[in-house]
């Protein structure tokens, strides 16, 4: 965050850039291992060897295993935030809800370990640092603002919304990983929610298979 002092030699910039690049390389490898072995299956040894290092060398980049998790936590939240950026939020509330639901459920369904890390507390004794948590708060605020723009005033309605969307996502991961059994239900779920909360007559649901 602190900007480089103008008088600082370029060599130092390069070194820092190299350092950051390696750090990111380690984090990328960590995501891969997480997907393969589960969130709690990660070991520093395996991580180090995945980037052709000895485990001890990781400590140049991360102070502890929890620090690695913390960076992954921030990483994942940043990724989710980035997915919100480019999308167009429709003026039609129902359409806006559908867009954001698809985005979120798809994101979660992609990666079970990431879901656990970002939204559950399944690692003993780990909790994100304030800096990392701030990004998660940003994500929440972004979602909340979109919902408000769609006409949701009540906090309870927002909670109902997150429950519905989180439920679809977690069931997709738990009962049909890699499939679309619950992803297929998104539009219907959103219609249900919109009918109930926005009080508008949404397009009647398809009764065809």
Binding site for DNA (CB under 7 A): 15-16, 18-19, 22, 42-46, 52-57, 59-61, 63-66
Helix (H) or strand (E) holding 182: none
Q: Which stretch, 8-16, 17-25, 48-56, 119-127, contacts a copy of itself (CB under 8 A)?
A: 119-127
Q: Is 41 in the site for a copy of itself (CB under 8 A)?
A: yes
The whole-angstrom separation of Cα 138 and Cα 124 is 25
Which residue's CB is nearer to DNA, number 66 or number 142? 66
190 Cβ partners below 8 Å, 6+ apart? 94, 97, 98, 101
Tokens standing for residue 12: 């130092």
The whole-angstrom separation of Cα 46 and Cα 33 is 8
When binding is defined by CB under 8 A, the residue of 19, 38, 87, 180 that contacts a copy of itself is: 38
Q: Which 159-178 positions form the footprint of a copy of itself (CB under 8 A)?
A: 159-160, 162-168, 170-171, 174
Q: Indicate the Cα dihedral angle 164, 168, 170, 176, nearest 10°.
A: 170
When binding is defined by CB under 8 A, the residue of 37, 92, 127, 180 that contacts a copy of itself is: 37
CA-based radius of gyration for the chain: 20
Q: How far is the CB of 131 from a copy of itself (least distance, A)?
A: 20
The whole-angstrom separation of Cα 190 and Cα 116 is 24
Q: Is 179 in the site for a copy of itself (CB under 8 A)?
A: no
Q: What are phi and psi of 51, to 5 degrees?
A: -115, 20
Contact residues: a copy of itself, CB under 8 A: 37-41, 112, 116, 119-125, 156, 159-160, 162-168, 170-171, 174, 181-182, 184-185, 188-189, 191-193, 195-197, 205
């Amino acid at each position: 965050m602190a900007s480089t002092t103008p008088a600082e030699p370029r060599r130092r910039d390069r070194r820092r850039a190299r350092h950051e690049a390696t750090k990111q390389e380690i984090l990328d490898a960590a995501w891969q291992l997480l997907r393969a072995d589960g969130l709690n299956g990660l070991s520093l040894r395996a991580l180090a060897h995945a980037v052709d290092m000895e485990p001890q060398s990781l400590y140049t980049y991360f102070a502890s295993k929890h620090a690695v998790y913390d960076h992954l936590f921030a990483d994942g939240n940043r990724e989710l935030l980035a997915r919100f950026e480019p999308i167009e939020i429709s003026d039609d509330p129902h359409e806006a809800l559908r867009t954001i639901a698809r985005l979120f459920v798809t994101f979660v369904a992609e990666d079970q370990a990431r879901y656990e890390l970002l939204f559950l507390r399944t690692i003993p004794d780990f909790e994100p640092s304030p800096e990392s948590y701030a990004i998660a708060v940003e994500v929440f605020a972004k979602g909340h603002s979109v919902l408000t723009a769609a006409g949701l005033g009540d906090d309870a309605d927002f909670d109902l919304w997150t429950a519905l969307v989180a439920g679809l996502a977690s069931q997709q991961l738990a009962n049909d990983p890699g499939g679309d059994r619950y992803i297929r239900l998104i539009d219907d779920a959103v219609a249900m929610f919109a009918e109930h909360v926005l009080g508008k007559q949404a397009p009647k649901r398809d009764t065809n298979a």
